[in-house]
Amino acid sequence: MSLVYEEESYKILGACFEVYKDKGCGFLEAVYQECLEIELELQGILFIPQRELSLTYKGRALKQKYQPDFIVFDKTIVELKAVSALTDEHRAQLHNYLKATGYKLGLLANFGHFPKLEYERIVK
């Protein structure tokens, strides 16, 4: 059984590892967001940062929007964290983003974890 978007997720996580190798843990999420934007660009990886997306309820558009940290390769949501450990709330957030977009793969990348990057693949 193969992983969903295995090659793409390998490239995305490689970029995350590169950022963690340089910055380590201890910065705010916004710092990692900016660093990952630069790294994805340097690696030639197609991405859209913090794109505002619409939500609906029973077929009606909501005023509230949401912004995943990254949409990468036009099919994967990447959500960044800078916390001591990932929690079920973080996983639920990404599950909701996947449900709202119809995308199959989400990646959680936690730069606040020591001594290494913590990450999870969430498949819908």
Q: Does the model's pTM come out above 0.85?
A: yes
Average pLDDT, the chain: 95
pLDDT band with cut points at 50, 70 and 90 for residue 1: low
CA–CA distance, 62 with 54 (Å, rounded to integer)? 7
Please report the pLDDT score of residue 4 as a whole number: 87
User: For the chain, which residues make up each domain, given as ranges?
Assistant: 6-123
What pLDDT digit, counting tens, does each position of 11-67 carry? 999 999 999 999 999 999 999 999 999 999 999 999 999 999 998 899 999 999 999
CATH dotted code for 6-123? 3.90.320.10
Residues in Cβ contact with 19 at an 8 Å cutoff, skipping those fewer than 6 apart:
32, 35, 36, 39, 111
CA–CA distance, 22 with 88 (Å, rounded to integer)? 28
What pLDDT digit, counting tens, does each position of 67-100 carry? 999 999 999 999 999 999 999 999 999 999 999 8
Element (H or E) spanning 122, and its range? strand 118-123
CA–CA distance, 14 with 8 (Å, rounded to integer)? 10
